[in-house]
Amino acid sequence: MAPKLGIVAGGGPLPARIVSACRATGRDYFVLALEGHADRGALDGEPQAWIRLGEGGKGIDLLHRENVSELVFAGPVAKPSLRELRPDLRTAKFFARLGQAWIGDDSLLSAVVRELEREGFRVVAPESLLADVLAIEGGYGRIAPDDAARRDIARGIEVAREAGRLDIGQAAIVQQGIVLGVEAAEGTDALIERCAALHRPGPGGVLVKVRKPGQERRVDLPAIGPRTVERAAAAGLRGIAVEASAALVVDRDEVVRIADRAGLFVVGVAVPA
């Protein structure tokens, strides 16, 4: 029998998808939901507790109390300021050990994983629990990118990888060779909204999401879902490209349905190492 799973729930549909997978296999689970990020409605009735991001000590105690052995991080979490965190004593000590390293997303997430492993938890990736969530190479619907879109995808990969190397973000939007925006602390939804105002005449832009070079694969892989596609269509984008085998496509069938209805392509692309 699989060990009890702790689901650290951020935003979006991924936490609920993992809960459904646990139910389908009869696996025992417990949801540790993050206030201000997780969807309360989607988690109603589940075995759960809610904590602030700054309550790491409380969260670890709860997970131990629930006899959790494995942990999965599911869903995006906007990076807060220290003031917003209001860290408990254990979290404050953790940040003190990190020093300035906590400012970088990759450094912080890697340190969080190491800390949890020291506590005896095994951190697993979402794709180890959901067979169809890891992006595949190729198209996801009936719409395919044309040559101009493929050039925008190539430019987007170049820009997004450089932003990732600098630990800024995982995504870029390119239209007709022009970089309209790069993801930073605001997240993908806000990037799309910001770039909608910069839309140029002619074929729409392309959202490109890739993994940061050297990124911890078990947490915070780039991801898209139905809401991403809806927002992209509303902003006048013509398509979305994600890194094959290094990004998550949540609710694939719904992503395809919305993309086909909107006339928007979704594609997984190979990214050279």
Split at pLDDT 50, 70, 90, the class of 83 is low
Residue-averaged pLDDT of the chain: 91
Dmax over CA atoms of the chain, in Å, equals 57
Instruction: Summarize pLDDT for 237-252 with one digit per residue, the tens.
Output: 999 999 999 999 999 9
CATH number belonging to the domain at 5-128, selected among 3.40.50.720, 3.30.300.30, 3.40.50.20, 3.30.420.40: 3.40.50.20
Global pTM?
0.89
pLDDT in tens, 3-62: 999 999 999 899 999 999 999 999 999 999 999 889 999 899 999 999 998 899 999 999
| DSSP assignment string, 33-78 | EETTTS-TGGGTTSSEEEE-TT-HHHHHHHHHHTT--EEEEES--P
138-269 classified as CATH 3.40.140.80: yes
Q: How far apart are CA 229 and CA 127, in angstroms?
A: 20
**Residue holding tokens 């979006």?**
12
Q: What is the pLDDT of residues 95-121, one digit of tens each?
A: 777 665 555 555 677 888 888 999 999
Mean pLDDT of 230-242: 98
3-state secondary structure 123-141: EECHHHCCCCCECCCEECC
Ranges of H-type helices in 89-222: 89-98, 105-118, 147-165, 188-196
Both tokens assigned to 160: 């997004």
CB atoms under 10 Å from CB of 68, counted, come to: 22
Domain parsing of the chain, residue ranges: 5-128, 138-269
Instruction: With residue 234 as reference, give the H or E element that holds it.
Output: helix 226-234
Q: What is the DSSP letter of 13?
A: S
The residues near 110 (Cβ < 8 Å, ≥ 6 apart) are: 216
